[in-house]
A and B are shown apart, each in its own frame.
Chain A
Amino acid sequence: DQQVKQNSPSLSVQEGRISILNCDYTNSMFDYFLWYKKYPAEGPTFLISISSIKDKNEDGRFTVFLNKSAKHLSLHIVPSQPGDSAVYFCAATESNFGNEKLTFGTGTRLTIIP
């Protein structure tokens, strides 16, 4: 039972344009969401997170949007740069102290075309 879904296995975007990565979740207990970026032969690197009390969080070129009613979140990267080419994972958790389990999606491979 995939509780966090990333339905696009891959995405190609022109350099300088906006990249939009999508993620859906089914578990209504999830209230904290994270995006990670992964290069080959490296571990995932934390990018940005959002709590369910917000609907938007911004950090430089990265913005995450959360639509609780639709159980959907998206990551916007503007402008896209060649170094952004990587696999992006969406993750979710229930924000209780003592619960460190992250549930991940299957990832979206983003390719930035120069």
Chain B
Amino acid sequence: KAGVTQTPRYLIKTRGQQVTLSCSPISGHRSVSWYQQTPGQGLQFLFEYFSETQRNKGNFPGRFSGRQFSNSRSEMNVSTLELGDSALYLCASTPSSVAGGYEQYFGPGTRLTVT
């Protein structure tokens, strides 16, 4: 099976602009989560989508939003970019079945730099 893919891998934007990141989960995985990784902060949970609905949400401002399509692909949008949004944005997928198992499988990430 192909792994989680994320596009683009690298992005440079200017303060005030908006950006859209894309994630394709592993085939058959219905849940997609997004995380932000910054130096010294580890991975911070942004939100999770399941069956096109946001099911879990982290503590990020409303400038961060996302959506999921019927084929489970997901996009994340950040509006009015700030310098502090520079980070590695990671997408992860999981089958999310009642059989259990909470392992998430990560993509390579999108490195966003805001100047």
| Residues of chain A having any CB pair with chain B under 8 Å | 4, 6, 32, 34, 36, 41-46, 49, 89, 91, 93, 95, 97-107
B65 at the interface (CB under 8 A from A): no
A103 CB contacts on chain B under 8 angstroms: 45
Size bracket of the B interface: 20 to 34
Interface centre among A43, A102, A104, by most B CB within 10 Å? A43
Interface digits, B83-115 against A, CB 8 Å rule (1 contact, 0 not)?
000000010101010101011111111000000
Please tell me which one of the listed residues A32, A95, A98, A105 contacts residue B42 in the complex, with CB atoms under 8 A apart.
A105
Ranked nearest first, the 8 interchain pairs of A and B with the lowest CB-CB distance are A43-B106, A106-B42, A104-B43, A104-B42, A100-B48, A46-B103, A101-B56, A44-B106
- Cβ 8 A contact of A34, one of B33, B35, B103: B103
**In the complex, residue of chain B having the shortest beta-carbon distance to the beta carbon of A5:** B42
Determine which of B58, B105, B109 lies in contact with A101 in the assembled complex, contact meaning CB atoms within 8 Å: B58
Query: Contact check: which of A44, A49, A97, A106 meets B41 at CB < 8 Å?
Result: A106
The chain A residue sitting closest to B31, CB to CB, is: A100
Cβ contacts under 8 Å, A41 to chain B: 108
| Contact flag A95-B106 (CB < 8 Å), given A100-B33, A101-B48 | no
24 contacts between A and B (CB under 8 A): A4-B42, A36-B106, A42-B108, A43-B90, A43-B107, A46-B103, A46-B105, A49-B102, A91-B43, A98-B56, A99-B56, A100-B31, A100-B33, A100-B48, A100-B55, A100-B94, A100-B96, A101-B45, A101-B58, A102-B43, A103-B45, A104-B43, A105-B42, A106-B42
A32 and B94 alpha carbons, distance in the complex (Å): 15
Which residues of chain A have C-beta atoms less than 8 A from B102's C-beta? 32, 34, 49, 93, 95, 100, 102
Given contacts A43-B109, A44-B90, contact A100 B43 (CB under 8 A): no
